[in-house]
Structure 1
Amino acid sequence: MNNILKVMLGATLLTSVAATAGKYPFPQNMASPHGYTVPFADTDMIKAHYSTWKGAWYDANQGWILSPEGTCSTVSEAIAYGMLITVYMDDETMFKKLYSTWKSNNASADGLGGMHWRIGCSGGTGSATDSDIDAALALVQASAQWSNSQYLSDAKSMINWIEQNDFNNTQLKPGSQWNDAFNPSYAGLANFKLFEKVSGKSSWSTHRSDVAKDLLACQNSKTGLVSDWCSWGSHQPTKTSASVAQTEDAGFFDDAARTPWRTAWAYYWYGDQDALSFNKKIANWLIPETKTASGINSGYYVNGEAELSDKRRFVSSTFSGGLGLAVSSLADDQSAKNYMETVYKVLANLTSCKTANGCGETDGGEKYYPSTLNLLYLLLMTGNMPNLYDMTGFTKFTPDPSLMRSSDSGVDGVQQKRGDTTVAISGFWNWGAYHDKYAETGTKMSPDSGSSPIFLRDGAYYADAVMEIGPEPKWTEDKAKVCKDTPAKCELKYPSAGIAMSFNKAESAVDLTKLGVKSLRITAKVEGPIRIALLNTATVEAGGEPGMFLKESSDYAVTLIDMTPDGFGTKDLDILDWVNVGKAPGGQEVLQTAKGLKFEVKDAKGGYGAISVKSVEFLDASGSVIDPSKITGIVISANPGATDPSNPGTVDPSNPGTVDPSNPGTVDPSNPGDIIGIVAGAVAAKSKIAVAGQQIQITAANNTAFAVFSMQGKVVASGKLAFGNASIAVPSKGVYMVRIGNKISKVNVK
């Protein structure tokens, strides 16, 4: 019995020393010396992702990461990725089992070379270069994490093997036994820089330079995209027998998607200038093209054309994270930081399947490849994949969730009462805020749904909102059927938030074609994916109105929108790709039934948006602004006329604050003024507005409130008519809005 206890105790002790406590436990939270490290990450979320991924794909009995989507085989890529992840998650027990698999299925007799690229039910011989360089780097990091000199010794042996077997002079081969073409996603510039330091051999600097030249030569000049495989001679897209995307023409697909991750890695760690050049070219195309990381399609051709087959039209960690990480190198660019926030949110909202069996069928999570890259991407961008071998330049920080953009910041200024016809943006007054009320979506907004988004700030009116929406639900035919048959059990609850402006209170249609509308000029400040859409009575599908995304801007910027009818909208406004074109009205009908505009945040995986509208102007063919009263039907005297100087009227002697009703004055017949549109409430009978030079003269009852606004909504003067009259000097000639009590008129100072 004592002997049995001794054996059990010995086994317990062996288990306890089998895994060493890491020198750099997760989370490391070390900001990289270069690039933008996301400062607000939720590291508990990363832990949860790791736990789910490990539960689905790790077979502890065999020391395998199951892939691709099977349970009877693994590939060297998966083992190397697993070694990298477990180093940074400080999981040496799992690391040891994975490394044992690597050594026991090795292309080198001593177990210190590359692993055969596939083992199990469908094996393969020879190594894959990307796996080789990642496993070697993982060993170097493991030596520092767990203070294990044997790992470092093994890494040095593997680095020498890689140099002898995975290179052909200046060319980085895709594997130890073949060299059909160059694979850009194998260009481990960070790996090679580390290998130079670890090995002490300057030849690795030459290798890094040679590989960088090939990588940059394969980039498309417009988009910066590279193909999965690139020909050695022309550096043009090509295909090989190893191409994962066999059904498409050569392009930026599953292999190539990892390339910006590798270049981001090289810039994060070493400030590699070739990596920076590579990433800048992609980022300059990517940000305006996709708006957010959830706008990234799962596959492109190198000219930027999205592959829109059903199997490619979805959001995945592979592409949203891989391409998105190119933006991380633009550390001083605020739009790049904002974009990186969307990359983080997409990756945070995408998780692995819970089990390998049924993944993608009964389990709606991500499969082996995207879920593994999800972790690698998150670790790198959040400061949890530092160079443990040489921590020079890395700085400790504490993640601060408050640094993420949030609707909690609110809107500056004094919120106005909804429906006040005297408070307008360029003459348009009927504004409202809206957002969904589903608990599941997590939507938040300021101002609240149903209230006015118009705020008075620095003497001017703006239509403002800050919004956060959650991720959209995953659509399935079965879920759609439930929603149709049993609405109370519907799971397809789509988040929404925005501000809308109706041309009139009845939300009735206005024929913009009869008014000669040719373009729409919006002056606004935009953050995040804000889409403007033309509301109309002809569109039957909710959210199916034609629109366009506004360009982000840190200050107020002008967007000119071509309103010429075209297709299902206008030259610049188009329907979203999910809209049923069989039900969508044509562009001419949309313009003939227009009823307003909306500005809303659109992000499939959830995100932040902010909008501040300064002016909304419909223009005719000459570029002149069309009087908004022709669209809204609200009062507006374009020219109230001038008072006849021979009979300006007399003051009522019994009340010097009012005009004598027996002689209110007459209109100058040479300038009688004219009324445009429908007069919705004239100025009070005892009120009078006149213009003299650059002065607006107001006469009304004592203590009547008044205000004079520029057409941009800025207050020129306001107060109460203490003695029944006021004379206001305006800064320049032009059109002004004058409010007396609750009535408004337009005055032209000529």
Structure 2
Amino acid sequence: MSKLRNVTMFLIAAVSIVSAQEPKYPFPQNVVYPYGVKSSKISNDFVRNWYDNWKKKYLQVCNNTIRPGVDPLTTSLVEAQGFAMVAVAYMGDKETFDKLYEYYKLKLTSEGCGLMGWKNNCGGFVDKGSATDGDIDVACALVVATWQWPDGGYKEKAKSTIDNLRKRMITTCSGKLTVYPGCGGGGPWGGCNETDISYYTPAFFRHFADISGDESWNKLADDTQLIRDAAANKNTGLVPDWQSVDGRAGAGSRKGYYSFDAIRSPYKQTLDYLWHGTRAAGDWAKKISTWANGVGVGSLKDEYNLDGSVRGSNHNMAAVGSFAVSAMANTQQIADAFATEVLKLRDDYWYSGYLGNLYLLALTGNMWTPEIIENQSIIVSQRGLTGSSYAQQPVVQSLRNQIKITGLPEFESIVVAALNGKTVKSAHVSPSVDGAVIPTSGMQSGCYIIRIKTSANVQPSIHMVSVM
């Protein structure tokens, strides 16, 4: 009997260990985003095969950890570290994620403001200074890990990384929160006159606010729109690799045109629209994807002057895949054209291999938030509504202690209802006011329906929000 009890306890423990490794939201999820369009041209098998090939080709064992190899494979870069961890978290690969994170921790430096030495290898460092984009992506990955494995202790790890980024790597320039691009010798460099818009990930910044309890991340997400648009070409939408906060392209010898940093921006900026409906992000994504479509999806290159004249010669996943994500803020026809082109591209360089994972996840609805997954039936129903007179939908954001609605100066009444249809709160707004704030104090956590009606006698615009 004692032996049987021991065997039973062993089996229970083994099952518990396996369960703890399983992701809450395994691949694939294929969500419908609250905003934008999604092509069905790319299969889950294509995404999985790309990921498996990338993992086999680039991830390198380093003692008891795993590091992201680039070119050459003996070298690792912090941006590859961030790209890898985000992809692995969304694919639900906990063992690989944990070993990548262990390597990351081994490479944190005081010279880099407590961030990762940006260029390193298994035996040490090539440069102990930091490049903030990679660590921001690591923080994004830890947020995803918090969603995937809620009892895994990742929330504390995410908060620690987010708090350090906020304390050491964010400054204020003319009232706008701005990302320092790096740190060397223990102090940040750049800032107001030297920042890189491809380092900004506003969709995740809004979740950094939730994890950390620091509302300034929401402001940084909003200020991202202003910093991006200040430097973006008014006709093409193209942004430079480097810029000042007030929009001057370039910084010293740094590139003032669309190149290998900026090519990540369409993906990162469009995600803020797909997830949160951020109007400025959607407008910019539509502009740049319209320009790119005009060039021809099969003719796009990886470097351009901001006016659209070509500089580069490569047609690859790193560049084209990012434009494909921005096309999700455009028409279904344009989104399908880009998705079809993506299927022709290959992992021919480390940058394309790593970024390809992220683009493909976004393109197929496999870059999600828990709120999007858990409210799919409402989102799908909402997206299927017909008869609304709105050419553009208002932006509805659930922030800490309030629901913020902007984007339609003509609305006059707002109703917040529970899922059972019972009205919880309502507000009447002057037609001249372009926005409303509804306090959520006294409201229980959960999902709510927002009905927005204009002064005209038309069908209301209906939205879904999650109140924490």
Q: CA deviation at 1:232?
A: 3.9
Cα drift, residue 136 of structure 1: 1.0
Greater RCO, 1 or 2 (C-alpha within 8 Å, sep 6+): 2
Q: In structure 2, what residue type is equivalent to 1:147?
A: P
Aligned counterparts of 1:158 and 1:105: Cα–Cα separation in 2: 14
Tell me if 1:374 matches 2:373: no
AA aligned opposite 1:172: V
Q: Secondary structure at the match of 1:238?
A: coil
> For residue 351 of structure 1, what is the aligned residue in structure 2?
346
Provide closer, same or farther for how the CA distance between residues 63 and 221 of structure 1 changes in structure 2, counting only shifts above 3 A: same
TM alignment of 1:159-558, pairs within 5 A: 159-169=162-172, 170-176=177-183, 177-179=188-190, 181-233=194-246, 235-239=247-251, 243=254, 250-290=256-296, 293-307=297-311, 312-330=312-330, 336-352=331-347, 366-388=348-370, 391=373, 393-394=375-376
Hey, what's the Cα distance between the residues in 1 that align with 2:15 and 2:25?
23
Separation in 1, partners of 2:17, 2:321: 37
Aligned to 1:144: 147
Name the CA distance, whole Å, in 2 between partners of 1:205 and 1:147: 23
CA distance in 2, matches of 1:33, 1:262: 17
| Cα distance in 1 between the residues matched to 2:238 and 2:359 | 19
- What do residues 351-371 of structure 1 show as CA deviations (whole Å, max 9, x unaligned)? 32xxxxxxxxxxxxx111011
Q: Could you tell me how far apart the structure 2 residues matched to 1:319 and 1:326 are?
A: 11
* 1:164 Cα offset (Å): 0.8
Per-residue CA deviations over 1:609-641 (Å, capped at 9, x if unaligned) read: xxxxxxxxxxxxxxxxxxxxxxxxxxxxxxxxx
Give the Cα separation in 2 of the matches to 1:296 and 1:195: 34
Equivalent-residue separation in structure 1 for 2:19 and 2:106 (angstroms): 19
| TM superposition score normalised by structure 2 | 0.70
Q: How does 1:46-65 map to 2 (within 5 A)?
A: 46-61=47-62, 62-65=65-68
In 2: Cα distance, 1:114 partner to 1:219 partner: 29
**1:413 matched to which residue of 2?**
none
Once residues 231 and 115 of structure 1 are traced to their aligned partners in structure 2, the CA distance between those partners, rounded to angstroms, is 25
State the secondary structure of the residue aligned to 1:229: coil
Q: Which amino acid aligns with 1:229?
A: W
- Give the AA of the match of 1:384: N
Local SS of the residue matching 2:130:
coil
The answer to which structure has the higher helix fraction is 2
Match of 1:78 among 77, 80, 98: 80
| Distance across 1 between alignment mates of 2:116 and 2:202 | 21
* Aligned partner of residue 29 in structure 2, secondary structure: coil
Q: Which runs of 5+ in 1 are unaligned?
A: 1-5, 244-248, 331-335, 353-365, 399-750
Q: CA deviation at 1:322?
A: 1.3
Deviations 1:556-588 (A, max 9, x none): xxxxxxxxxxxxxxxxxxxxxxxxxxxxxxxxx
Change (3 A) 1:268 1:395: farther
CA change 1:54–1:81 in 2 (3 A) is same
In the TM superposition, residue 327 of structure 1 has moved relative to its aligned partner by 1.7
Q: 1:166 to 1:56 in 2, by over 3 A?
A: same
Letter paired with 1:171? T
After TM superposition, list the pairs within 5 Å mapping 1:94-105 onto structure 2: 94-105=96-107
The code of the aligned residue for 2:350 comes to Y
SS, match of residue 343 in structure 2 = helix
Alignment match, 1:433:
none
Question: CA shift at 1:231, angstroms?
Answer: 2.7
Cα pair distance change 1:18/1:255, threshold 3 Å: farther
Q: From the CA coordinates, give the structure whose radius of gyration is larger.
A: 1
Pair 185,395 (structure 1): closer, same or farther in 2 beyond 3 Å: farther
Deviation at 1:194, TM superposition (A): 1.1
Q: Distance in 1 between matches of 2:373 and 2:103?
A: 29
Does the aligned pair in 1 maintain the 2:325–2:362 contact within 8 Å? no
What is the total number of aligned residue pairs between the two structures? 357
Please state which structure has a larger fraction of its residues in strand: 1
What's the offset of the Cα at 1:71? Answer: 2.1
The answer as to whether partners of 1:251 and 1:302 remain within 8 angstroms in 2 is: yes
Q: How large is the RMSD of aligned CA atoms in angstroms?
A: 2.9
Give yes or no for contact 2:202–2:220 (8 Å, CA) kept in 1: no
Partners of 2:194 and 2:33 lie apart in 1 by 33
Amino acid in the other structure paired with 1:178 = W
Change (3 A) 1:108 1:270: farther
Written as runs of structure 1 = structure 2, the 5 A alignment for 1:636-715 is none
Given the superposition, is the C-alpha separation of residues 394 and 373 from structure 1 closer, same or farther in structure 2, using an over 3 Å criterion? farther
| Equivalent residue letter for 1:231 | S
2: CA distance, partners of 1:151 / 1:164: 20
Q: Is the 8 A contact 1:227 1:256 kept in 2?
A: yes
Q: Give runs of aligned pairs for residues 14-163 of structure 1, distance below 5 A.
A: 17=18, 20-61=21-62, 62-67=65-70, 69-107=71-109, 114-120=115-121, 123-163=126-166
Partners of 1:126 and 1:175 within 8 A in 2: yes
C-alpha displacement of 1:390: 6.2
8 Å CA contact 1:139, 1:155 repeated in 2: yes
Contact map agreement 1:36 1:381 (CA 8 A) in 2 = no
Question: Is the alpha carbon distance of 1:138 and 1:147 closer, same or farther for their aligned partners in structure 2, counting shifts above 3 Å?
Answer: same
- The Cα shift of 1:262 comes to 0.7
TM-score normalized by structure 1? 0.45
Contact 2:42 2:340 in 1 (8 A): no
The residue type equivalent to 2:179 in the other structure is: L
* Residues in 2 aligned to 1:393 and 1:35: alpha-carbon distance in whole angstroms: 16
Q: CA deviation at 1:210?
A: 2.3
The C-alpha deviation readout for 1:201-233, integer Å capped at 9, x for no partner, is 222222222232111101011111011111345
Q: Assess if the C-alpha contact under 8 Å between 2:327 and 2:338 holds in 1.
A: no
Distance 2:231 2:143 in 1: 30
Equivalent pair of 1:32/1:395 in contact (CA under 8 Å): no
Matches of 1:18 and 1:126, distance apart in 2:
39
Distance 1:132 1:156 in 2: 13
Distance 1:114 1:299, change over 3 A: same
Provide the rounded CA distance (Å) in 2 between the counterparts of 1:150 and 1:108: 24
- Evaluate the alpha carbon distance shift between residue 160 and residue 54 of structure 1 in structure 2; reply closer, same or farther with a 3 A threshold: same
Residue pair 1:134, 1:191 contacting (<8 A) in 2 also:
no
Amino acid at match of 2:362: L
Cα drift, residue 131 of structure 1 = 1.4
Q: 1:117 to 1:240 in 2, by over 3 A?
A: farther
Aligned equivalents of 2:237, 2:305: Cα separation in 1: 11
CA distance in 2, matches of 1:91, 1:163: 28
Check whether the contact 1:237–1:250 (CA below 8 A) recurs between aligned residues: yes
